[in-house]
Chains A and B, each alone.
Chain A
Amino acid sequence: MLLSVQAMTKTFPGTRALDAVDFDLRAGEVHALLGENGAGKSTLIKCLTGAYHRDGGTVTLDGAQITPRSTVEAQELGIGTVYQEVNLLPNLTVAQNLMFGREPRRWGLIDGRAVRARAREVLTSYGLEIDVDRDLGSYSVAIQQIIAIARAVSLSGKVLILDEPTASLDAAEVRMVFDVVRSLRERGLGIVFVSHFLDQVFELTDRVTVLRNGQKITTESTADLDRVRLIEHMLGRALEVEVSDQSADETYHRRPEMLSFRNFGRRTVVEPFDLDVTKGEVVGLAGLLGSGRTESAELMFGVRSAQTGEARDQTGKLDLSGPRAAIAAGFGFAPEDRKTDGIVADLSIRKNIVLGLQARRGWARPIARAEQNRLADDYIARLDIRTSGREKAIGDLSGGNQQKVVLARWLAMNPRFLILDEPTRGIDVGAHAEILRLIRELTQAGMSVLVISSEIDELVAVADRVIVVRDRRHVAELSGRRVTGDEIMRAIASDDEEGDAA
């Protein structure tokens, strides 16, 4: 056994984050570490990399007990980590990043030529032939991620921990990174793989360990495991068939049309499209990263103004020249990048919830504190936001709960059309299902929702109708029984016109 963790325990004030967790890693395997947010994955990893100090238990690496005190020390012991956000410096060259801290020196000064030569050598072994003298920031995230892996491996060389390395990559890039990971497995490294994407877990890993509430639930060979059982392990309950037959409802087009976009578009952003939304409908928007999904949403919400076409409801033309106008027209938009565009991390849950409402009322008419408290408590209860109180800073909540607060902010304003861009990104499986259920509830109350997602299963589960976007064009519309994973995939993948049934 390369790395063996026995009875690791870690307690934080009020919670036991890890409760006697065992974990082992063989040389030459990719071992998935799964669990919902708060299950203890990241605590376990942080204890291994020295970011936290464990309270109890032992860690044995290559037969010797270790107690790393810092990430640098863990690296020296042989445990390297690559995080979701590339932890390299975009302002240094690729070579500088790779060799940082151990640059070859001559006469005490850094030997730039040797740095570049060594960097080139390292990257060639990963099949990457790039100009190492360019800034790291000028390369795509996937290449940066591979460089980060190369650095971690060359520094440590025994254990590689990949913490959600693929969260911001598209499919082709994921394949590229996976090829690198597989070649490292062949070299005999032990690799810990943390991801929310179960498909990737099944594609890449040899074994799976599931944590829940700080305890180890199971370690099994991936080949012996199926998806449903894995999710049951993670959630600790049998998965309800909540994600099935909703799209069979074909009565929607008898419902009254609420909004209609005609010839709506903007040059170089999205080609003009037509879209009708009926009351209480969930429209899904599918497509690859960068295909124009988010851009379509931004156009509808006025983040970027449309150059052509118009939007109207039953009463007439709508003004969507900017977000303020769109809000006034009863629109809401929960953007993709929750951390930077969705929440104000330092403000409390209460302030985040009333933010939108207050902005609409204007500063001259402040919402009374009691009213704010009532609103906050109401939504915390209604959306089941898990927090110790309404005054907690939203930045301290988990991703799923942050997303619920963002939803609460819009719900407080009672919009008729809500756009959700990747509402479940970076959210654990449990909260995931809850948010999908919430969307259903909202539409039953008459609200219309547009959901953008890269997870096709999610769209199939929640949407009445799916629009497929490709190369900045709306290429297909699937409804009723045609809303299936296969159909959506086919529409995304086909690059000729014939699949474009509208």
Chain B
Amino acid sequence: MNTRALPLYATIAIFLIAYLLCWLQFPNILSTRVIGNLLTDNAYLGIVAVGMTLVILSGGIDLSVGSVIAFSGVFIAVVLRDTSLHPLLVFAMLLAITTAFGAAMGVLIDRLAMPAFIVTLAGMFLARGAAYMLSIDSVPIQHPFYKALQSTYYLMPGKGRLTLIGMVMVLTVIVGMIVAHKTRFGASVYALGGGEQTARLMGVRQGRTTMLVYAFSGLMAGLSGIVFSIYTGSGYSLATVGTELTAIAAVVIGGTLLTGGAGYMFGTLVGVLTMGLIQTYIVFDGSLSSWWTKIVIGILLLVFILLQKGLLKLSQSRLSGAS
């Protein structure tokens, strides 16, 4: 069997076991209402984690996404408040901005041969600063189109609501899976994560691929910002602080190797849902402090890092045993 898929199976198994344990205590947790809420509440995180997965697969990291989400919310809210543009047009403008922002970071990372950590850290401050410049207050979004978006849902059997933003998240994951696993661009991303020099020798256009990876992450961050603004109905420059780290955690819990080159897009969805499930459990329990979410996520992260190290050891010892 391929050891590469083991972290993914482990992720899925942990999610299912966790769900089973929750279900034994609270049978209601299996209702479509809970599932619908799980998707809705984590929609923005899931979307941004899709972009983050691709970045991490390429061997990089994108710390700017949390700030970009906040910027997006403020940008939409301020533009809608001050102009009479239709929200769809504003969305298009925003996505163009965030994609270009990501692409610019990608170009810098490639051209200056700078660590992605530093460049995107600068991007994080820049985007957050830009959000403050637009407004330091929470700006409500009153546009009627927003009301329509917020109340669009598909009623699942059992009265669960699959909201628009939940659907967007699921669609994004599917698009992410296609991009990562079914295109030559995706193959180039894995190749870069496996080794830059080798990838170049195999014909990967490193500059173009790096730029596209961060552009994709910027696009996802912008989309996530739109979804977040629909979810909260406002734009606030202090929102989603630290979301980039939560997204990285979701990606790693989803079984993707933090050093790049190995992982699955689907695993990231499971990672996001696992983190959402912990939160849901705490809500159901009612007596637990929400800090338990962080503690459990911390433990899960540690378990996954150990698991990946262990698998690496295992495959190495198997190799030396075979030869």
Contacts and interface: CB of A to CB of B under 8 A. Distances in A.
A89 B201 contact: no
Interface string B162-182: 000000000000000010011
Contact of A89 (B181, B191, B318): B191
Interface in B197-217: 198-199, 201-204
A71 B199 CA distance: 12
A87 B201 contact: yes
Contact of B262 (A91, A103, A110, A141): A91
B73 interface: no
A101 B193 contact: no
B190 A92 contact: yes
Contact of A138 (B198, B261, B318): B318
A245 B202 CA distance: 50
B184 interface: yes
Interface in B279-320: 315, 318-319
B198 A88 contact: yes
A140 B203 CA distance: 24
What's the dominant secondary structure at chain B's contact region?
A: helix
Contacts of A138: 2-3, 315, 318-319
Interface string A344-381: 00000000000000000000000000000000000000
A62 B181 CA distance: 39
B148 interface: no
A304 interface: no
B190 A89 contact: yes
A96 interface: yes
B59 to A, nearest CB: 10
A91 B190 contact: yes
A135 B193 CA distance: 14
B194 A101 contact: no
A411 interface: no
Contacts of A188: none
A135 B178 CA distance: 20
A88 B195 CA distance: 9
A105 B315 CA distance: 31
Interface in A59-103: 71-72, 75, 87-93, 96-97, 100-101, 103
Given A110-B183, A137-B319, A89 B203 contact: no
Contacts of A134: 2
B6 to A, nearest CB: 11
A21 to B, nearest CB: 24
Nearest to B197: A87
B113 interface: no
A89 B322 contact: no
A89 B182 contact: no
A471 to B, nearest CB: 14
B202 A101 contact: yes
Contacts of A97: 202
B182 A100 contact: no
A109 interface: yes
B40 to A, nearest CB: 30
A138 B323 CA distance: 10
A108 B203 CA distance: 19
Contacts of B33: none
A134 B20 CA distance: 32
A133 interface: yes
A97 B318 CA distance: 21
A87 B323 contact: no
Interface string B215-236: 0000000000000000000000
A90 B194 contact: yes
Interface in A266-317: 290
Contacts, number: 71
A138 to B, nearest CB: 6
Contacts of B261: 89, 91
B202 A88 contact: yes
B209 to A, nearest CB: 12
A169 to B, nearest CB: 10
A224 to B, nearest CB: 36
Nearest to B193: A91
B107 interface: no
Contacts of A71: 201
A291 B319 CA distance: 16
Contacts of A87: 198, 201-202
Contact of B4 (A135, A139, A290): A135
B187 interface: yes
A133 B194 contact: no
Contact of B315 (A93, A100, A103, A137): A137
A452 B318 CA distance: 26
A161 to B, nearest CB: 13
A439 B193 CA distance: 43
Given A89-B261, A110-B183, A133-B2, A100 B203 contact: yes
B196 to A, nearest CB: 11
A89 B323 contact: no
A145 B3 CA distance: 21
Contacts of B204: 101
A96 B262 CA distance: 13
Contact of B198 (A72, A89, A108, A112): A89
Contact of B195 (A89, A105, A108, A112): A89
A336 to B, nearest CB: 15
Contact of A135 (B2, B182, B191, B201): B2
A89 B319 contact: no
A411 to B, nearest CB: 34
Interface in A104-118: 105, 108-110, 112
A109 B315 contact: no
Contacts of B262: 91
Nearest to B1: A134
A89 B315 contact: no
A87 B201 CA distance: 7
B116 to A, nearest CB: 18
B193 A110 contact: no
27 contacts: A71-B201, A87-B201, A88-B202, A89-B190, A89-B191, A89-B195, A89-B199, A89-B202, A89-B261, A91-B262, A92-B187, A92-B190, A92-B191, A93-B2, A100-B202, A101-B203, A105-B184, A109-B178, A109-B182, A110-B181, A110-B184, A135-B2, A137-B315, A138-B315, A139-B319, A140-B319, A290-B323
Interface of B: 2-4, 178, 181-184, 187, 190-191, 193-195, 198-199, 201-204, 261-262, 315, 318-319, 322-323
Given A75-B203, A88-B202, A105-B184, 9 more contacts: A72-B203, A88-B198, A89-B190, A91-B261, A101-B203, A108-B183, A110-B183, A138-B319, A140-B323
